Amino acid sequence: MMIKLFLKQVSIFLLLLVVLNFLLFILIRAFYIRDYDQVDLGYSEYLLADSHGTPLGDFTEIHDVHNFSGQSDSYLDMERKLRFLIRHTTVNKIYISVDDHTLSPTREDQNNLDRSAYYSDREDYSSYKEFIHDKYLNYYCVFVNDRYSLIIKNFLQNELFDISKWGGSRSKNSWEDMSALQQKEISTDRINNYFEFALPSVVMSSSLLRIIAICKANNIELIGLRFPLTKTYLGILDNESYNADSILIINNLHVIDFDSLYMEQDYMFRDMDHLDKEGGEKFTEILFDSLEEKKVN
Maximum Cα interatomic distance, the chain, rounded to a whole number of Å? 85
pLDDT of amino acid 152: 82
Dist. CA 110–CA 172, nearest whole Å: 23
How many domains would you assign to the chain? 1
Is the separation of the CB atoms in 271 and 51 below 8 Å?
no
Exposure class string for 231-251: b at 16+ Cβ within 10 A, else e: bbbbebbeeebbebbebbeee
Give the residue from 63, 70, 95, 114 showing the smallest Cα distance to 211.
95
Is the separation of the CB atoms in 133 and 111 below 8 Å?
no
Cα 204 to the chain's mean position, in Å? 14
- Can you tell me the mean pLDDT for 63-89? 97
**Strand 45-48 relative to strand 93-97, pairing:** parallel
Domain membership flag for residue 184: yes
Domain membership flag for residue 213: yes
**What does the pLDDT look like over 147-163, one tens digit per residue?**
888 888 777 666 555 44
Is 70 exceeded by the pLDDT of residue 255? yes
The lowest-confidence range among 1-15, 84-98, 161-175, 228-242 is 161-175
Domain membership flag for residue 32: no
Query: Could you tell me the pLDDT band of residue 230, with boundaries at 50, 70 and 90?
Result: very high
- pLDDT more than 90, % of the chain: 74
Domain membership flag for residue 38: no
Considering only CA atoms, give the Rg of the chain. Answer: 22
Query: Could you tell me the pLDDT band of residue 203, with boundaries at 50, 70 and 90?
Result: very high
**What does the pLDDT look like over 91-125, one tens digit per residue?**
999 999 999 999 999 999 999 999 999 999 999 99
Is 80 exceeded by the pLDDT of residue 272? yes
CATH code, domain with 115 = 3.40.50.1110
Domain membership flag for residue 135: yes
pLDDT of amino acid 173: 63
Domain membership flag for residue 12: no
Dist. CA 178–CA 51, nearest whole Å: 21
Mean per-residue pLDDT of the chain: 90
- Can you tell me the mean pLDDT for 72-87? 98
Domain housing 66 = 43-148+174-296
Dist. CA 79–CA 43, nearest whole Å: 18
Domain membership flag for residue 258: yes
- Can you tell me the mean pLDDT for 259-265? 93
Domain membership flag for residue 216: yes
Is the separation of the CB atoms in 196 and 240 below 8 Å?
no
The pTM for the full model equals 0.90
